[in-house]
């Protein structure tokens, strides 16, 4: 009996993994890679880069900030105690599936008011965040309020959050390839007080 239960659980885990992977494979055919590539000059020309996201999307943005730091960019996470004021010539990169999260929209308004650049990752290119952004990367995943199983069988925006991390990692990999730094050079910037 116990072996039968384990086999069923094992099959369910494998099925879940296949669902997730197949959703990402489908999504990769829908992403506009020009939108991502067009961000590169903006990132390279920014004095300071700020990232923002809420909830699980915020965690993906923090991971992306760390990777940008490894590449040598001056990066700050909005809301952290060490983040300075954003200024003209800086860049805010915002992640929001809906593009309507009030704290993120307010931060974007502040960035625009001081003359900073604004890039966003969202599922919605007509949202308040996307319409004020200089550049928008649309990730065609279900928003967390959507229950459309044709887009994703996963719960509450999981596909967007996972895809945000993968998309940003593809951007990081591209920036690294263009930069030509070795892994050893990047490792020197890795945290050494853990």
- Report the distance separating Cα 181 and Cα 137, nearest Å: 26
Query: Is residue 78 situated within a structural domain?
Result: yes
Residue 151 has pLDDT above 80, yes or no: no
What is the residue-averaged pLDDT of the chain? Answer: 91
CB 141 within 8 A of CB 159: yes
Looking at residue 156, its pLDDT comes to: 65
Indicate the pTM of the whole model: 0.89
Query: Is residue 32 situated within a structural domain?
Result: yes
Query: Which amino acids are annotated catalytic?
Result: 161
- Structural domain range at position 110: 2-187
Query: Is residue 193 situated within a structural domain?
Result: no
Looking at residue 100, its pLDDT comes to: 94
Give the residue from 49, 47, 111 showing the smallest Cα distance to 75.
49
Residue range 6-23, pLDDT digits in tens: 788 899 999 999 988 999
Query: Is residue 41 situated within a structural domain?
Result: yes
Cα 134–Cα 157–Cα 97 angle in degrees, nearest 5: 15
Cα 22–Cα 17–Cα 166 angle in degrees, nearest 5: 60
Q: What is the mean pLDDT of residues 147-151?
A: 59
CATH at 177: 3.40.50.10490
Query: Is residue 98 situated within a structural domain?
Result: yes
Which residues lie below 8 Å from residue 94, measured CB to CB, with a gap of 6+? Answer: 51, 52, 53, 61, 104, 107, 108, 118, 119, 120, 121, 129, 133
Residue range 98-147, pLDDT digits in tens: 999 999 999 999 999 999 999 999 999 999 999 999 999 999 886 555 55
Query: Is residue 109 situated within a structural domain?
Result: yes
Residue 186 has pLDDT above 60, yes or no: yes
Query: Is residue 194 situated within a structural domain?
Result: no
Query: Is residue 192 situated within a structural domain?
Result: no
Could you give the number of structural domains in the chain? Answer: 1
Residue range 50-92, pLDDT digits in tens: 999 999 999 999 999 999 999 999 999 999 999 999 999 999 9
Residue range 42-60, pLDDT digits in tens: 999 999 999 999 999 999 9
Residue 155 has pLDDT above 90, yes or no: no
Looking at residue 126, its pLDDT comes to: 94
């Amino acid at each position: 009996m116990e072996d039968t239960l384990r086999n069923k659980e094992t099959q369910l885990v494998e099925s879940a993994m296949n669902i997730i992977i197949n959703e990402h494979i489908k999504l990769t055919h829908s992403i506009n890679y020009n939108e991502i590539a067009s961000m590169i000059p903006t990132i390279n020309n920014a004095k300071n880069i700020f990232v923002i996201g809420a909830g699980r999307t915020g965690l993906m943005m923090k991971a992306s900030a760390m990777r940008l730091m490894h590449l040598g960019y001056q990066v700050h996470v909005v809301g952290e105690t060490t983040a300075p004021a954003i200024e003209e010539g800086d860049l805010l990169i915002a992640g929001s599936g809906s593009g309507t999260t009030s704290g993120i929209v307010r931060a974007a308004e502040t960035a625009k008011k001081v003359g900073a650049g604004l890039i966003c990752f969202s599922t919605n290119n007509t949202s308040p965040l996307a319409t004020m952004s200089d550049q928008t990367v649309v990730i065609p995943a279900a928003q967390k309020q959507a229950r459309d199983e044709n887009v994703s069988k996963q719960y509450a925006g999981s596909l967007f959050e996972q895809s945000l991390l993968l998309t940003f990692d593809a951007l990081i990999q591209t920036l690294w390839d263009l930069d030509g730094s070795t892994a050893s050079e990047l490792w020197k910037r890795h945290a050494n007080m853990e």
